[in-house]
Amino acid sequence: MNTNEDTNIEESINKEIQIEKPQVIEASGDQTKSDKEESDKPAARKPRPRKPRNKSDKPVADPAAAEKANAEKPKADKPKTDKPKANKPAPQKAKTDAAKAAALPGSEAVTETAPKAQSKSGTKAAKVKSDKLRIIPLGGLDKIGMNITAIEYEDSIIIVDCGISFPDEDMLGIDLVIPDISYLKNNLSKVKGFVITHGHEDHIGALPYVLRDINVPIYATGLTVGLIDHKLKEHGLLTKTKRKVVKHGQSINLGAFRIEFIKTNHSIADASALAIYSPAGILVHTGDFKIDYTPLFGDSIDIQRFAEIGKKGVLALMCDSTNASRPGFTPSEIKLSKTFENLFTEHNMQRMIVATFASNVDRVQLIINTAHKFGRKVVLQGRSMVNVIAIASELGYITIPDNTMIDIKQVKNYPDEKLVFITTGSQGESMAALSRMADGSHKDVRIKPGDAIIFSSTPIPGNEKAVSKVVNELTMKGAKIIFQDTHVSGHACAEEIKLIYSLLKPKYSIPVHGEYRHLAAQAALANELGISHENTFLLKSGDVLELSKEKGRVIDKVQSGEIYVDGLGVGDVGNIVLRDRQSLAENGIIIVVLTLEKGTNHILAGPDIVSRGFIYVRESEVLMKEMRNVINNALDKCQTRNVTEWGKLKNEVRDDLNDFLWKKIRRSPVILPIIMES
C-alpha cells in the first residue's frame, strides 16, 4: 500500500470516529434512517425475485473486484514504517482496528468503529500482529438449537448467531433455553457486533435476552432483520438496538474483521454464509445451508464465490452438520411444486389443512400460489405464521394474489372444498394451532371426517412423540393424514458438504450445528477429503480453539451452558428447582401442619395432613391415620431427647414419615412440615 492510500484511510477513520451516535443504516449506505423511524416498521425491501445489482450502483464493492483492483495498484518503492509523524499523537485503538480491517482484501465496506481512550503518555508502541484466531462456541454443538459462536482476534470479538433451544421433556415449566454468555459479558469491551446467518429461532431467538447485557449492533440480511425487529419490538428493545441490513455480496468491517455475506439456500429466505477475514486467515461459516440449483423463488447459492474464496486459501471451515450422515444430495424445493398440484387435484372435494414451519416463506408462497391456481381461499393459523408472513409480505419476500387470503371469521362464507388452511404445529407443539385443532380446543376450527391434513415437514429429533400424538388425535377424528413427498430438507447432505469442502480447501475442519453424531459424520467426510484427524475438531460448548497457519489446538475452556427462561424470569430457575418440580410431578407433596405449645412443645393442634398429587385423601383414611401416628411418635421421641429446635423437629418428622411411606407403599413424596407456635 502506498503513502497516499495510507493517508486516505487515516482521513476516513478520523471521519468515522467523529460521529457520536451512528445511525441505523443499510449496509450499502444508500439510505439513512433514524432509530425512531426504524422503530415504526422494518424498512421495505425489493420484492423477489431480486434483480442483479446495476454496475453503476456503488454501495459496497464486490469483494473479488476490490481485491483485483488492490492487486493492480502500484506499490511504493519503500515500505511504510510504523514510526508516527512528528508532533502528531498516535492513532487511537479504534483506528488500529479499522486499519486492520481496511488492510484486508476488498476492504471497501461499511465500518463500525468506536473511539477508545489513549494511554496516559499519549503515544502507543507499534504492535506485532498475531497470527492466532480463536473460535469459542457457546452453544449449538451438543444438540440441535442454541447456536452461538464467538470469533476472537486480539481485542476484537464478533458473535455469529444468537439462538434459543426448546426445553427437554424433563424441564418442567421452562419456556425457552438460552446460552450462558458469561464469557462475552466478561469481555464486553472487545465485542463489536452480532452477525446473523438467517432468521430461524435457533439463530436469532436469544437476541432479546442477550442484548440486555451485550448491546452491540446487529448485521443481517433484509428478511432476517425484519424478523429480529419484530422480536425486539415485543421486548421493548427496538429503539435501543442498532440493526443494519447487509445484502448478499456485501461486506462489513468490525474491529479486526471483515465479514462478507454470501448467498446460500435454506428453508428460509435470505440465508447467508459468512466469509470472515482476519489477519490470521479466512474463516468460512456456512450457516444452515443446502445447494439448490433450481430454487422455487430467488437465486441459487453463490457457488462461484465459494470457489473464488477457496483460491485465496481458507484457514478453517465451520460447516452445517445436520444431514452429514445422509448420502447424496438434498432434493430441490422445485420438486414440491408438482407434489402440491397433485394433492390439490386429488383432494378437490375436501377441505385442506397444511402444517409447515412459519419461517419457510418459500413453502408458504408455493401453497398460496397453488391455492390461487385451484380457486381456493387461504387462511393462516397460528400466531407465528401470521406474524412471519406479514413481515415477509411487507418486505417483498412473499406475494399474495388479490382476493386469495381471508380471515378466519370469513370461513363460514365458503364451502370446505374452496378452503386451505396454512397452520403452525408441524412439530406437535402443544399450544400450536394444529395441536389445538387435534384435541378439540381450537375456538374456530373443528376437524371433520375427510379433511386432508398435509404435514409439509419432518419431525425435528426429539419431537417424534409429540407429532405422533397429534397424528393419532387427527386420525381418530376421521382426517386423512398425508406425509409422503411433501417436504424437502433445508440442510445439505453428504455430497453437498463434500462439494463445499472441495471448493474451499480449508486447512481445518470444524463441524457445527448438530448432535455429536452429526458432527462426527461430517468429520469423517472431511477426513475422506484429505483433512487430517489432527486438523479436524469436534468441539464442545465452551472450548477455546486457537488456530494459526502452523497448528490448531484447544487451549482453554470458558464458562458455557444453559440459562432457563420461565415466564418473565431469566436464569432464576436452576437445576435444583427443576429437580423439585420433577419430584413434585412424579411423587406429589404432603404438607404436615402442627401447632405446638410455646416452651413445652406439646401438640396443641394437629397434625393436619394436606396431600396434593400423592393420594386421594377421602379414599385413604386408613393410611392417613397411620401417617398421623408416625408423626406423633416422631414428636414424642424428640420430647424424650429434649429436642426443641424447630429445624431438628421438622427433620425428624420428615425422615420418619418418608421411611414409613417407602416401606408401606414404595413412594417418596415431597414432605413439607410446617410448625406454628401458640
d(CA 18, CA 34): 18
Residue type, position 161, single letter = D
- Amino acid (one-letter) located at 50: R
**Cα 207 to Cα 42, 176, 243, 478, 503, distances in angstroms:** 17, 12, 12, 42, 33
CA 592 – CA 611 distance, rounded (Å): 9
Distances (CA, A) of 267 to 78, 145, 332: 52, 15, 11
Residues 651 and 592: their CA atoms lie apart, in Å, by 12
- Check: CB of residue 274 under 8 Å from CB of residue 318: no
Contact 419, 352 (CB under 8 A): yes
Helix, strand and coil percent figures for the chain, each rounded to 5: 35, 20, 45
Rounded Cα–Cα distance for residues 86 and 89 (Å): 8
Q: Assess contact for 328 and 287: CB atoms under 8 A.
A: no
Note if 320 is an active site residue. yes
CA distance 201 to 113: 29
Query: Is 396 annotated for ligand binding?
Result: no
Kindly give, in sequence order, each residue whose CB lies less than 8 Å from that of residue 170, ignoring residues fewer than 6 positions away: 578, 582
Closest C-alpha among 203, 234, 202 to residue 221: 203
Q: Is 491 assigned a ligand-binding role in the annotation? A: yes
Coil, strand or helix: which one is 469? helix
Burial 487-518 (b: 16+ CB within 10 A, else e): bbbbbbbbebbbebbebbbbbbbbbbbbbeeb
Helices (H), 327-446: 335-346, 361-373, 383-394, 433-439
Do the annotations mark residue 130 as ligand-binding? no
Annotated binding residue at 518?
A: no
Quick one: cell of 328? 447424496
Residue among 248, 491, 513, 518 flagged as catalytic: 491
442 is catalytic: no
Catalytic: which of 180, 292, 302, 320?
A: 320
Give the cell for residue 402. 388479490
| CB burial readout 327-346, b (16+ within 10 A) else e | eebbebbeebeebbeebbee
490 known member of a binding site: yes
**Active-site residue numbers?**
320, 491
Residues making up the annotated binding site for substrate are 487-491
Residues making up the annotated binding site are 487-491
